[in-house]
Amino acid sequence: MSRSERLFDLLHALRKYRRPVSGKVLADMIGVSIRTLYRDIASLQALGAAIEGEPGVGYVLKPGFLLPPLMFTLEEIEALVLGSRWVAGRADDPLCEAARSALSRIAAVLPTDLRDELEASALLIGPGAAIPVDGVDPALLRKAIRTERKLALRYRDGAGAGSERIVWPFALAFFDSVRVLLGWCELRQGFRHFRTDRIVSATPTGTRYPKRRQALLKEWREAEGITDKPDHPRTLLPETGSRAG
């Protein structure tokens, strides 16, 4: 176990107790010697943790302290690297650059042992099918989702038929070979899915839609019967689309 992992585990162990707990109990919980525990207590205190107590008396952590959100386990490091590499290879240009930048920032402030693990990660993303070119800037769609603003869409379905409608965009689904905008369609009075490469144009209306996007996402999940993995749009079909257009 690395030192960073020990500090992370020790902090979690301390949070389980509202009253002072002995060093021996803490050392047994995280699997270290009592001498190592004392050093790790001192390290957390140096980082700003309000740990009160002393050897032979016990220790208690005052509420409010958080380790920097960069004290990851090895598995979390691998998940971050794998996810960032997928985004860098499969998302649009702004997100690709953001993924690379985020990984660089994380690496810059990680402890040395974890930084080495991040840079030496052997988890790779294999090549996938070419992603069709989007008809509109995905950054515009993401902004409309974040700000909960209606979009005026011109859309062409798989058969080539065109349509115009006002949509309340609330999510983007990323597949290996296609991206799909999820929205409430005023024309159809229901949830619809739009392949971003078939969107001819998307014009912000400046009008906020009447529901929060979290509420729309919840209603969409219920409508699609998604209950086991709410962050996984498993009912969407990239080629034909469930309730497409």
Report DSSP letters for 181-194, one per residue. Answer: EEEEETTTTEEEEE
- Residue 11 and residue 38 in one domain: yes
Taking only the tens place, the pLDDT of each residue in 140-180 is 999 999 999 999 999 999 899 999 999 999 999 988 888 99
Domain with 51, as residue range(s), is: 3-61
CB-CB contact of 202 with 151 (8 Å): yes
- Residue 48 and residue 83 in one domain: no
Question: Is there a domain that residue 92 lies in?
Answer: yes
- Residue 33 and residue 100 in one domain: no
Amino acid at 78: E
Tell me what pLDDT residue 142 has.
94
Provide the pairing of β-strand 162-174 with 179-185: antiparallel
191 vs 43, 143, 166, 214, 244, CA distance in Å?
A: 53, 19, 12, 14, 9
Question: Is there a domain that residue 69 lies in?
Answer: no
CB-CB contact of 66 with 50 (8 Å): no
User: How many distinct structural domains can be found in the chain?
Assistant: 3
Tell me what pLDDT residue 1 has.
60
pTM above 0.75, yes or no: no
Give me the sheet containing 199-208, strands edge to edge: 190-195, 179-185, 162-174, 149-156, 199-208
